[in-house]
Amino acid sequence: MPEGVRPMTQAVSGGVRTLLRLEGLGVLIVSVLAYAQFVRDWGNFFLFFLAPDLALLGYAAGARVGAVLYNLSHSLLGPLATLAAGVLLSEPVATAAALIWLAHIGFDRALGYGLKYSAGFGFTHLGTIGRQRAND
């Protein structure tokens, strides 16, 4: 753990952590099924699937900036708003983008990559990841 950082007590553990990861898997599966039903442009799906991870570049400006940018691109609020707009406005590009975005978030959550704390990349609401986890 980085010097001066207190142990995290806000992260979930046990059965709750497992449930949240299963929810992420559910989001991934439903998003991919909806994409397969309504969009079917798999080239764009694979091209843009990792686009939310461009927010990781924010970590070059420090952990606080990185966490804010990562959380903005990995919260469900953005893709859900985009999906609602796409459906309500009959805008297929917005609908496709939202489904890809949701699939990415679901994938990350299923793997245990949660929203970040400003203590560093490895400190998430789903617990610690990477070297921090090994040191716990």
* Extents of the domains making up the chain: 14-135
Element (H, E) at 26: helix 14-38
What pLDDT is stored for residue 104 in this prediction? Answer: 98
pTM recorded for the entire structure: 0.88
Interval 29-55: pLDDT, tens: 999 999 999 999 999 999 999 999 999
Interval 58-105: pLDDT, tens: 999 999 999 999 999 999 999 999 999 999 999 999 999 999 999 999
